[in-house]
Chain A
Amino acid sequence: MNIDFDFIVRLFPDVFSYLPITLKIVLYALLVSFPVGVIMALINVKKIKGLSQIVRVYISLIRGTPLILHIYVIYTIGPFFIEKVFKTLHFKKSVYDVDNIVYAIIALSLTTTVSISEAIRAGLLSVDKGQEEAGYSVGLSKLQTFLRIVFPQALVAAFPVIGNTIVELIKGTSLSFLVSVTEITGRAKIVGGVELRYFEAYLTIFFVYIILIGTVELIIKALEKRTGRYRYGGQYAKS
């Protein structure tokens, strides 16, 4: 087997230029998943009747099915719903104007929401009830206590798991080419197909992903240290 290194060197900047598409999917998926995940975690922790059952069913449904299926299902029935929404809101847009990237973002958000909500739920449960009482005792309201005392601590506790979720999400974007979104993997497949050099194409994006995820992990680690400095004391404390 001979590997065409020139091809790899040529392809690398080419696929790398599709990084913004991948990042766009990640960013939008997080923007949807994070608030929804937090709300779901709250519903679960506060055991709000009715809603918490719905949330739990949703979590089991999503966790019990593969990501690729979510993508296919959203791609098949998504347009139907979007058309309905457009009609009821009297939008002049057609469903065919909707970029496929939207379906990828929705599908990936489904799983990411579940992971984030479970991480935050564990985080919320890890905060001692005494923290809440202390908040009330100094005169804070329920909302103030939650926003200033409980939630920040829950978030820090959940941070490592959320970091993993983000990494999973980045890897999940590689399935977007199934709905013909050209991101890193999609581009490699196309070029690899044109020049019939699949192996080199895959090897290239192997490195692209390693670099991308390596960088993201470094950022997450740094953030973890920074936000969690009160937990370790000592070296991180005073800054």
Chain B
Amino acid sequence: MLKVNDVYKSFGNNEVLKGVSFNVEKGDVVVILGPSGSGKTTLLRCIEFFEKADKGNVVLSDKVYSLSEHTKKNAKEFRKHTAFVFQNYNLFNNKTALGNVMEGLVTARKIPKEEAKKIAISALEKVGLKDRINYYPVQLSGGQQQRVGIARALAVNPDVIFFDEPTSALDPELVGEVLGTMKELAKDGTTMVVVTHEMKFAKEVGTKIIFMDEGKIVEEGAPDDIFTIPKNERTRQFLARYIDNFDYVI
């Protein structure tokens, strides 16, 4: 359903992405793992048109969008079919939780207010924040803010939701509630592409793991394979702490 083809991106002399391609099928939870600086976040930002890639395109539902030649129309069209969850939430500070979720429905998609409100409330209910709809972001904890961020992404009924390290800015206690919410979404069949360092989540929820290093995908496969018998040396190193060790002999 979503195909990312051959994405290259440099910042000055620093080549961050060196030809990254991958596919996402409907209902997939693709988890992108890799050390810091391997280009995971840049990849997502290129796909969502926040950065202009040097080369590459993305195909969503059979429509090709160039990532190196941005057009307003393309960016808007692509974003209408996708949603993005940010590392530092980026909730609209001047709007309540409800306002945050409704904005994309009412202003961007021209859904009548009453209907949008219903959709927004049900999205907030899904992330367990029905009693917080009239709160402003400053009044919410980090975990709650991120769950509003997820509700905002969910409400527009996107084909794919991109998560850019959604739990990195949270303390360990709050990580659980956000991951729990994401797990629920996965159960409902939401298609997700998640950049994260949460290995347990990757293992349990992921349907496909992509391991990136130095701007390239070095290994991809089912979580059961990657977390037990990674083929690549670098993957093995990175995941060493998380690989199931069978330290007994038969």
A131, B90: Cβ atoms under 8 Å? yes
A134, B92: Cβ atoms under 8 Å? yes
* Assembly CA distance A142 to B84 (angstroms): 17
Q: Which chain B residue shows the least CB distance to A155? A: B94
A156 within 8 A of B: yes
Q: Which residue of A136, A149, A233, A234 is within 8 Å of B92 (Cβ)?
A: A149
Q: Which residue of B50, B104, B134 is within 8 Å of A139 (Cβ)?
A: B104
Name the A residues within 8 Å of B136 (CB-CB).
229-230, 233, 237
* Assembly CA distance A138 to B75 (angstroms): 11
A164 within 8 A of B: no
B94, A130: Cβ atoms under 8 Å? no
B108, A138: Cβ atoms under 8 Å? yes
* Assembly CA distance A229 to B93 (angstroms): 10
Name the B residues within 8 Å of A237 (CB-CB).
134-136, 139
Name the A residues within 8 Å of B83 (CB-CB).
137-138
Q: A133-B50, A232-B138, A237-B139 are in contact. Are A139 and B92 (CB under 8 A)?
A: no
> In the complex, which residues 90-107 of chain B have their Cβ closer than 8 Å to any Cβ of chain A?
90-96, 103-104, 107
A152 within 8 A of B: yes
How many of chain A's residues have a CB under 8 angstroms from any CB in B?
A: 27
Q: A130-B86, A135-B92, A230-B93 are in contact. Are A140 and B103 (CB under 8 A)?
A: yes
> In the complex, which residues 144-169 of chain A have their Cβ closer than 8 Å to any Cβ of chain B?
144, 148-149, 152-153, 156
* Assembly CA distance A234 to B136 (angstroms): 9
* Assembly CA distance A142 to B137 (angstroms): 23
A97 within 8 A of B: no
Q: Which residue of A134, A153, A232 is within 8 Å of B90 (Cβ)?
A: A134
A238 within 8 A of B: yes
* Assembly CA distance A238 to B49 (angstroms): 36
Name the B residues within 8 Å of A144 (CB-CB).
107-108
* Assembly CA distance A231 to B95 (angstroms): 10
Q: A137-B48, A144-B108 are in contact. Are A231 and B156 (CB under 8 A)?
A: no
Name the A residues within 8 Å of B76 (CB-CB).
139, 141
Main secondary structure of the interface of A (DSSP, over half): helix
* Assembly CA distance A134 to B45 (angstroms): 12
* Assembly CA distance A148 to B99 (angstroms): 11
Q: What mask results when residues 30 to 53 of chain B are scored 1 for a CB within 8 Å of chain A, else 0?
A: 000000000000000000111000
Name the A residues within 8 Å of B139 (CB-CB).
233-234, 237
B88 within 8 A of A: yes
B75 to chain A, nearest CB (A): 7
A99 within 8 A of B: no
A230, B94: Cβ atoms under 8 Å? yes
Q: Which chain B residue shows the least CB distance to A141? A: B76
A128 within 8 A of B: yes
A21 to chain B, nearest CB (A): 37
Name the B residues within 8 Å of A234 (CB-CB).
139
* Assembly CA distance A51 to B152 (angstroms): 38
B106 to chain A, nearest CB (A): 10
A140, B104: Cβ atoms under 8 Å? yes
B113 within 8 A of A: no
* Assembly CA distance A151 to B49 (angstroms): 22
Name the B residues within 8 Å of A232 (CB-CB).
138
* Assembly CA distance A104 to B95 (angstroms): 40
B90, A128: Cβ atoms under 8 Å? yes
* Assembly CA distance A23 to B76 (angstroms): 46
Q: B residues within 8 Å of A by Cβ?
A: 48-50, 72, 75-76, 79-80, 83-84, 86, 88, 90-96, 103-104, 107-109, 134-139, 152-153, 156
25 contacts across the A-B interface (CB closer than 8 A): A130-B86, A130-B88, A130-B90, A133-B50, A133-B84, A134-B92, A136-B79, A137-B84, A138-B108, A139-B79, A139-B80, A140-B103, A140-B107, A142-B72, A148-B103, A149-B94, A149-B103, A152-B94, A156-B94, A229-B136, A230-B137, A230-B138, A233-B136, A234-B139, A237-B136
| Ranked 3 nearest A-B pairs via Cβ | A138-B104, A139-B108, A130-B90
